[in-house]
Amino acid sequence: MKKNVQLDEYIKAGKIAAEVREIVRVKDWIGKSVYDICEEVEGEIKKRGAKCAFPVNASINEIAAHYTAEPNDPITIKDTDMVKIDLGAQINGYIADTAVTVCYDAQFDGLVQAAEEALGDAMSMIKAGVKASDIGRTIETTIKQRGYKPIANLSGHSLDQYTIHAGKSIPNIWSIGGFSLSENSAYACEPFVTTEQGGGFVRNGQIKNIFAMNSRKKTKNPEADRLLDFIWEKFNMLPFALRWITKEWDEKQAKELLDVLIKKKAIQAYPVLIEVNEQRVAQAEHTFIPLEDGVTVTTKAP
């Protein structure tokens, strides 16, 4: 990390994200639409003085990740659902990425506890020089000891300014090779847990409602180019949702323009990720910065 200001910004973003996550954790979301959840949580981030690093994800049951609300999305939380709410705050592009699982079916509480415990065990072993593969082993061991399965093809990641997935992965299982954590770099760790009946993997679903810019090359469609400029100015390379552009373009036109930009590969669309055996998935996530002799968990609970 070049300057202390970056550390300050990571810490400010982390404090805001943690405060909001703890509000999310204790709130009763039963009967709320995912549209209301995403908009409310994003509002809590903004009113604390950060920008959203990505659209709030509200991924229900066997959907592990990458579902955000469509404009006026009517899907509503039921009194048996398990919902992963994954949120990101950013200040000048320095990101805090954190998640919590709310669970309204007591028989699945153990999944949530296993994700939290695996994350806690991972955080307590972090310092500069620790191997990512050893973190993966710890996460896997904690989850399996409770009789559950980690999701093997989802992982944590390095973070950089305006970049959520900055190239390095922190696995949720033991794996050969990998890298060692650097002092003063930012990373996210995010164990995902499924049941014993789960396959322990996710597959891509049909729905794609999170997008991000790939390239700023012109498309020869002036209105699509205007949307691309808008996206760059508002979100840089960070992810966004259709909800975030329908104040400037009506929904139908915004969808058509997004399709143009996706075909031209100026924008990419991320599919939802679904557990292969359609079993429930729980997640917990922190952002952290390794130190010479320990760790700063930027999204530590207040």
Q: Can you give the binding site for Mn ion, defined by CB under 5 A?
A: 86, 97, 99, 188, 285
Please, which residue, 164 or 260, has the CB nearer to Mn ion?
164
- Tell me which of 73, 116, 285, 286 is the catalytic residue: 285
We find the least distance from the C-beta atom of residue 256 to Mn ion, in angstroms, to be 30
Residue 107 φ/ψ, nearest 5 degrees: -65, -15
- Tell me which of 157, 225, 275, 286 is the catalytic residue: 157
Q: How far apart are CA 221 and CA 261, in angstroms?
A: 9
We find the least distance from the C-beta atom of residue 95 to Mn ion, in angstroms, to be 9
Instruction: Tell me if residue 165 is catalytic.
Output: yes
Instruction: Tell me if residue 286 is catalytic.
Output: no
Please, which residue, 254 or 289, has the CB nearer to Mn ion?
289
Q: How far apart are CA 192 and CA 199, in angstroms?
A: 12
Q: How far apart are CA 37 and CA 226, in angstroms?
A: 30
**Token digits for 65?**
């990740």
| Through-space distance between the first and last CA atoms of the chain, rounded to whole angstroms | 25
Please, which residue, 15 or 264, has the CB nearer to Mn ion?
15
- Tell me which of 70, 116, 190, 225 is the catalytic residue: 190
Instruction: Tell me if residue 70 is catalytic.
Output: no
Angstrom CA distances, 22 to 25, 66, 247, stand at 5, 20, 29
Instruction: Tell me if residue 86 is catalytic.
Output: yes
We find the least distance from the C-beta atom of residue 58 to Mn ion, in angstroms, to be 12
Please, which residue, 84 or 280, has the CB nearer to Mn ion?
84
Please, which residue, 99 or 284, has the CB nearer to Mn ion?
99
**CA angle (267 as vertex; 253, 178 as ends), nearest 5:** 150
We find the least distance from the C-beta atom of residue 190 to Mn ion, in angstroms, to be 5
Q: Where are the beta strands (DSSP E) in 154-235?
A: 155-159, 169-171, 186-189, 192-194, 202-213
Q: How far apart are CA 13 and CA 282, in angstroms?
A: 24
Instruction: Tell me if residue 190 is catalytic.
Output: yes
- C-beta separation of 126 from 184 below 8 A: no
Helix (H) or strand (E) holding 23: helix 4-26
Instruction: Tell me if residue 157 is catalytic.
Output: yes
Q: How far apart are CA 302 and CA 18, in angstroms?
A: 7
| Exposed/middle/buried for residue 222 (C-beta within 10 Å: 0-12, 13-18, 19+) | exposed
Please, which residue, 62 or 86, has the CB nearer to Mn ion?
86
We find the least distance from the C-beta atom of residue 284 to Mn ion, in angstroms, to be 10
We find the least distance from the C-beta atom of residue 119 to Mn ion, in angstroms, to be 12
Please list, in sequence order, all residues whose beta carbon lies within 8 angstroms of the beta carbon of residue 73, skipping any fewer than 6 positions away: 33, 34, 35, 38
- Tell me which of 73, 86, 140, 275 is the catalytic residue: 86
- Tell me which of 97, 117, 140, 275 is the catalytic residue: 97
- Catalytic positions: 86, 97, 157, 165, 190, 285
